[in-house]
């Protein structure tokens, strides 16, 4: 059986690192995307020490040249890609009010969380189409759920993070767009809600661990051929859009 090749963006720490570790433990060759060479190489070395095959791929999702170079390198080395986890993301407006959010915060957030995902996905799709059963996982958040954040009874209505929340709602829409385009192919595209996990992103305020956050992404990255596409899932099942 051919070894599967998985690219995880933002794999040097947090939930992305845990996803990379789990895919590596499952026998995949993991390409650990990271924008900082030192942090990326350290993460790949840690993954390899645990017995897996992991290689650092320099990848800043906001830098078109970096995205193109990563795709070119993967094509030369492996000729295809089986799994893409669009995990890299930023949260810049923790504690901010929408009315006080500088537009620059919105722009920077969208560059990483929205435009970056599209840039990486479009660059990798020709390689993913060469896989017999490719899986794309977009790391969303329940903060992107309009059902949850518009419900005054829901705790997430207390977190009106204009830039972050709307970037994840946009990512959900983007997930559906790709799934619709690819519905007649073997490429499945889903959005993952990892739950509220303690990571650098939220100053370690979440009750869950990064390893728990990886569960749903790993499940979606390893879906069977009869698995869903175009959905939005947490570990407990479908999340309301
Ligand atoms: P984290 O610990 O802050 O890790 C974020 C990762 O993304 C880091 O590796 C970071 O690299 C990378 N990254 C950021 N901008 C990048 C760029 N332009 N190019 C490449 N890599 C970039 O955060 P996390 O909590 O693990 O978050 C992972 C994903 O899960 C994010 O998409 C986040 O929105 C989502 N999520 C998290 C939670 C939660 O509770 N933690 C909940 C829902 C969704 P550097 O080390 O170089 O900064």
pLDDT per residue over 75-94, tens digit each? 999 999 999 999 999 999 99
Any idea what the CATH number is for the domain that residue 48 is in?
Answer: 3.40.50.720
221 lies in which domain range?
Answer: 5-238
User: What gap in Å lies between CA 241 and CA 31, rounded to an integer?
Assistant: 30
Centre of ligand 1 from the C-alpha of residue 45, in Å: 20
- Atom of ligand 1 at shortest distance to CA of 59? 20
The predicted pLDDT at position 170 comes to 98
User: What gap in Å lies between CA 231 and CA 192, rounded to an integer?
Assistant: 8
The predicted pLDDT at position 188 comes to 98
- For the chain, the first-to-last Cα distance in angstroms comes to 37
The predicted pLDDT at position 227 comes to 97
Q: Answer yes or no: are the C-beta atoms of 3 and 53 closer than 8 Å.
A: yes
Burial 146-181 (b: 16+ CB within 10 A, else e): eebbeeeeeebeebbbbbbbbbbbbbbebbbebbee
Residue 108, ligand 1, Cβ within 6 A = no
Q: Which residues pair with 56 in a beta bridge?
A: 32
How many C-beta atoms surround the C-beta of residue 238 within 10 A? 11
Q: Mean pLDDT over residues 141-169, rounded?
A: 97
Residue 23, ligand 1, Cβ within 6 A = no
Overall pTM surpassing 0.85 (yes/no): yes
Cα 206 to chain center, whole Å?
18
User: What gap in Å lies between CA 24 and CA 5, rounded to an integer?
Assistant: 10
Q: Where in the chain does DSSP place strands (E)?
A: 5-8, 29-34, 53-58, 83-86, 135-139, 188-192, 232-234, 237-238
Q: Smallest Cα–Cα separation from 14: which of 169, 217, 152?
A: 217
Average pLDDT along the chain: 97
Residue 109, ligand 1, Cβ within 6 A = no
The predicted pLDDT at position 97 comes to 95
Percent of the chain with pLDDT over 90: 98
Domains held by the chain: number: 1
The predicted pLDDT at position 82 comes to 98
* Confidence category of residue 73, pLDDT binned at 50, 70, 90: very high
User: What gap in Å lies between CA 55 and CA 28, rounded to an integer?
Assistant: 11
Strands 237-238 and 232-234: antiparallel
Residue 9, ligand 1, Cβ within 6 A = yes
pLDDT surpassing 90 at residue 1: no
The predicted pLDDT at position 16 comes to 98
List, for residues 138-152, the tens digit of each pLDDT value. 999 999 999 999 999
Centre of ligand 1 from the C-alpha of residue 133, in Å: 26
Give the mutation target among 12, 165, 201 for probing the ligand 1 site: most ligand atoms within 8 A of CB: 201
* Confidence category of residue 2, pLDDT binned at 50, 70, 90: confident
The predicted pLDDT at position 25 comes to 96
User: What gap in Å lies between CA 130 and CA 140, rounded to an integer?
Assistant: 26
């Amino acid at each position: 059986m051919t070894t599967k090749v998985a690219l995880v963006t933002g794999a040097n720490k947090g939930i992305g690192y845990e996803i990379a570790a789990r895919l590596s433990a499952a026998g995949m060759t993991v390409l650990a995307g990271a924008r900082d060479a030192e942090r990326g190489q350290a993460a790949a070395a840690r993954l390899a020490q645990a017995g897996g095959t992991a290689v650092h791929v320099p990848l800043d999702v906001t830098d078109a040249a970096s995205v193109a170079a990563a795709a070119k390198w993967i094509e030369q080395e492996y000729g295809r890609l089986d799994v893409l986890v669009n995990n890299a993301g930023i949260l810049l407006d923790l504690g901010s009010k929408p009315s006080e959010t500088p537009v620059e915060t919105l722009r920077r957030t969208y560059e990483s969380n929205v435009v970056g995902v599209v840039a990486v996905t479009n660059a990798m799709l020709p390689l993913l189409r060469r896989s017999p059963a490719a899986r794309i996982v977009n790391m969303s958040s329940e903060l992107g759920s309009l059902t949850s954040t518009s419900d005054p009874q829901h705790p997430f209505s207390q977190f009106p993070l204009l830039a972050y929340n709307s970037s994840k709602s946009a990512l959900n829409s983007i997930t559906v767009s790709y799934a619709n385009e690819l519905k007649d192919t073997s490429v499945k595209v889903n959005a993952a809600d990892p739950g509220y996990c303690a990571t650098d992103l939220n100053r370690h305020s979440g009750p869950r661990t990064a390893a728990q956050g990886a569960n749903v992404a790993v499940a979606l990255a390893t879906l069977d051929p009869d698995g869903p596409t175009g959905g939005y899932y947490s570990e407990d099942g479908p999340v309301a859009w």
